[in-house]
Amino acid sequence: MRAPHVNARDTPAMMDALDTPPEPSTSPSGRAPEEEAFEARLRTWLKDEAGVHEWRRLVRLDEDEALVSKFEAGFSQRLFALLDRVPELFDEATVVAQYERMAAALPADTPRVDAWHAAMHEACREAGELLGIPDIRLAEIRTGIDSVRAILEAVIWSGPAVRDDYTPRSGEVSAYREGLAALADDRDLFTRYYGTFEDRAVRNHCPGAAFARKMLAHAWRACTGTLPPA
């Protein structure tokens, strides 16, 4: 007499396995566990090898690159909404007028870049007061202004003062073009390369390249009195 056939699905072990829900493919945060594990290893590497001790968030991960940011999720959207509230910071005629008023009020030996920087900070403060924008939010705009100033100083490297008879040098025109070309949405001057980790290039990205391009163009017009080089 043959032994009765037992279906593996009827055994207690298999029944338990069938009743056990599958392992989730994503964590409670909505991200794959492998990505979260990579982020943890990456943060350790950033601290120990790249010397980055501040918190970083993994923004994007692919086969070639890991893009990180010091800003929390949703920062870009909030920043763009904030910048939309202060259009005067991105209107060429307004920026030039603000610069000219500031330049006239400053000592003759004040660098033009410093005058533009002071004018933009004043415009930012005035807009905040008018619209009731908290200073902690305005600080995000001031950070962008300060970043563009650093680029502008590198571009207008001859350092003309507000009362100088000045025409941009050919090298400054070339520097402007190079700087503008680097302000691409996917790889701008605010993107820093940290090194390679697990066969991926690690870069830190700050949002706002499109606004920075416009601000840089208007700053050039204000400081040089000439159209931005094409």
- Checking 122-129 for CB contacts under 8 A at 24+ apart, the result is 122/98, 123/88, 123/89, 123/94, 123/95, 123/98, 124/86, 124/89, 127/85, 127/86, 127/88, 127/89
Question: Going by C-beta distance under 8 Å and a sequence separation of 6 or more, which residues neighbour residue 200?
Answer: 61, 62, 63, 64, 65, 66
Q: Is residue 99 part of a domain?
A: yes
Token pair, residue 158, equals 């001859």
Res 77: pLDDT: 66
Phi, psi of 37 (to 5 degrees): -65, -40
Res 26: pLDDT: 46
Phi, psi of 26 (to 5 degrees): -130, 160
Token pair, residue 155, equals 């571009």
Res 183: pLDDT: 62
Query: How many domains are there within the chain?
Result: 1
Mean pLDDT by 10 residues, the chain (230 residues): 42 37 48 85 89 84 85 66 77 94 97 97 90 84 86 94 96 89 55 84 74 89 94
Is the full-model pTM beyond 0.85?
no
SS3 call for 90 = helix
Residue 99: domain span: 73-189+206-224
Q: Is residue 17 part of a domain?
A: no
Res 11: pLDDT: 38
Q: Is residue 161 part of a domain?
A: yes
Res 18: pLDDT: 35
Q: Is residue 140 part of a domain?
A: yes
Q: Is residue 169 part of a domain?
A: yes
Q: Is residue 65 part of a domain?
A: no
> Could you tell me where the DSSP H helices lie in the chain?
12-19, 33-48, 75-84, 92-105, 112-131, 135-155, 170-182, 209-224
Per the CB < 8 A criterion, the answer to whether 181 and 169 are in contact is no
Q: Is residue 153 part of a domain?
A: yes
Token pair, residue 32, equals 């794959």
Res 76: pLDDT: 63
